[in-house]
Each structure stands twice: as C-alpha cells, then as structure tokens.
C-alpha cells in the first residue's frame, strides 16, 4: 500500500506541497465525514492543464449549489502549476478537491467553512481501448430531479457501487438510467451514440454532469455539420445505434464495443474516429 501512496509523489494541501505519505487533513473535515465537497478531474498535456478555466468555472458552480465558498481561481491555478512542477510532470492526471473543511463538529448543520483544497497529480498515459469498452446496464439509477446529480460532488457512492458492480461482472463500466428509465451516463463519463449519421446524447436535464469534454465534442460535431440531438432516450434507442462512445477528460473519446448482449458493428466507428481525431487536434492546438 505504501508504494501505491508514494506513486502520487508530492501532494498540495492548501498550497503546501508534502510527500503523499505525509499529506493529512483533519479528522473533522466534512469532506471526510460527509462527502461534503466538490472535485474536478483534469488532464494535463505537455505540462499544461487542458481547459482549466472551464473546470474551475464548473467547480465554482458546484460550490454555489452546496453553499461552499469557492477558493480564489488564481490561487488554485498557482497551486496546480506548483504541483505539476514539483512532480516534474508533463502528461498527467490532475484532481482538485475542495471540501467544506473542519467546522468543529460532527453534526449535519454548518454555519461556517474553512475550505480544504487538495491537489493530486501523477503521470497519465492515454489508455488503449482496443476493440472498445464492454459495458453493462447498471441496477443503480441517477436521480434527474436532484441538483446534486448535475455537479461533481464528492459523495458519489451510487456511482462507485455501479462501477464495482460492473467490474465484478467482468466488464469495463456501466450505463446508468435515470428514475424515468431514460439513458443518463456512465459512472464517470458522458454517453454518445450515432445512428443514420446523427449524433445523440442525453440532455442535461436527464440528471447528468455537464462534461467539459462533452461540450467540446458537441461543438466539434456541429462545426463539422453533424446533426446533434440532445434529449430523453430509452435504453433501446442506445442499443439500436450503429456506434457509440463515452467522453471524459481522462478518457477523451472511448469507443463502446458492447452493452449487455448487444455488440456494435464497429468500434470505434467512423464518426467516433473522426471526432476523436478532431478532439486530439483541439488538445494539441491548446498546448
């Protein structure tokens, strides 16, 4: 276990860089006690965090939803740069977590906050998806009526259990429906599929996260003249697609090979390959 912890190198805790094994937060921190916090997962390419401002803006929105004071953006940018430099990282995985911090008690009520900011980073290489991801339909549901499903908060136990359920079944990940049985998202990624040249994805009111990569893919598709439909879709509509993929900041565009007993004809499909290539060009132009 110590080797796993040490692999994270130096961690930033409220701007103080310490070896991972020595990094601590208070046992009264509400992030630990209640999952009371917001986080963002970011890719760095050539030492530069991609779409950092978009991630910080989404974090600020999440903080607003749960009435958590958002630390200064410029301060976090500086701590991110320092963490990348301290760990001599180029292509990297970054996670920024902001909790409400220790408030002096273990009750639900709070009337003050002293936010804790933790920044983790480590080397990251793009996964080889081979012939595509194998997914299953999860028994866990997303609650489209809750504002918490639309933010990246730290209390994501239902998604953790959905991922565990999928891995125990021997597959890569799970597709989750919402309480109305509409397609929502995967456990940590947005879902897209293509049928008859049209790109489909669940709308935000299905109870999904407004993924940063999702937004870029939608923009690229529209620029390429690809018809885009955001809406409410039954699971059967996803299964009837010709090709499908997931998007996230770490995965970029990950083709889907199969869901349950249904296998897509090609993974990655033609449109998926086109969008993945254009997304990579977008990343490279930002370096």
Query: Does 96 reside within a domain?
Result: yes
Query: Does 58 reside within a domain?
Result: yes
Measured distance CA(114)–CA(214) in Å, rounded: 32
Measured distance CA(93)–CA(9) in Å, rounded: 12
Encode the chain (287 residues) as per-residue pLDDT tens digits.
567 787 899 999 999 999 999 999 999 999 999 999 999 999 999 999 999 999 999 999 999 999 999 999 999 999 999 999 999 999 999 999 999 999 877 788 877 778 999 999 999 998 899 899 999 999 999 999 999 999 999 999 999 999 999 999 999 999 999 999 999 999 999 999 999 999 999 999 999 999 999 999 999 999 999 999 999 999 999 999 999 999 999 999 999 999 999 999 889 999 999 999 999 999 999 86
CATH code of the domain in which 49 resides: 3.30.470.10
Q: Are residues 214 and 163 in the same domain?
A: yes
End-to-end CA distance of the chain: 35
Query: Does 278 reside within a domain?
Result: yes
- Write out the residue range of the structural domain in which residue 107 sits: 2-123
How many distinct structural domains can be found in the chain? 2
pLDDT value of residue 165: 97
> What's this model's pTM, rounded to 2 decimal places?
0.95
pLDDT value of residue 1: 59
Q: Are residues 282 and 246 in the same domain?
A: yes
Residue 155 φ then ψ, to 5°: -95, 60
The DSSP annotation for 68-113 comes to -PPPPHHHHHHHHHHHHHHTT-SSEEEEEEEE--B-S-SSS--S--
Q: How far is CA 22 from CA 13, 27, 89, in A?
A: 10, 15, 20
CB-neighbour burial class of residue 268 (10 A; exposed 0-12, middle 13-18, buried 19+) = buried
pLDDT value of residue 107: 80
């Amino acid at each position: 276990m110590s080797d796993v912890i040490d692999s994270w190198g130096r961690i930033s805790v409220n701007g103080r860089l310490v070896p991972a094994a020595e990094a601590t937060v208070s046992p009264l921190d509400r992030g630990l006690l209640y999952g009371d916090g917001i986080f963002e997962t970011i890719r760095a390419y050539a030492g530069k965090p991609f779409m950092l401002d978009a991630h910080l803006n989404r974090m600020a929105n999440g903080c607003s939803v749960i009435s958590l004071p958002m630390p200064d953006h410029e301060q976090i940018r500086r701590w991110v740069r320092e963490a990348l430099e301290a760990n001599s990282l180029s292509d990297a995985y970054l996670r920024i977590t902001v909790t409400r911090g220790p408030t002096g008690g273990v009750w639900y009520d709070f009337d003050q906050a002293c936010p804790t900011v933790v920044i983790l980073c480590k080397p990251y290489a793009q996964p080889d998806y081979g012939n595509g991801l194998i997914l299953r339909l999860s028994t866990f549901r997303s609650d489209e009526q809750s504002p918490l499903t639309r933010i990246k908060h730290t209390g994501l136990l239902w998604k953790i259990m959905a991922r565990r359920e999928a891995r125990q079944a021997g597959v890569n990940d799970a597709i989750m429906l919402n309480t109305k049985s509409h397609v929502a998202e995967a456990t940590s990624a947005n879902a897209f599929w293509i049928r008859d040249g049209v790109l489909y994805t669940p709308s935000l009111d299905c109870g999904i996260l407004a993924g940063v990569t999702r937004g870029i893919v939608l923009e690229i598709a529209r620029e390429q003249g690809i018809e885009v439909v955001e809406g409410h879709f039954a699971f059967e509509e996803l299964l009837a697609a010709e090709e499908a993929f997931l998007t996230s900041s770490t995965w970029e565009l990950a083709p889907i090979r199969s869901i349950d007993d249904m296998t897509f004809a090609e993974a990655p499909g033609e449109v998926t390959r086109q969008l993945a290539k254009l997304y990579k060009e977008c990343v490279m132009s930002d370096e």
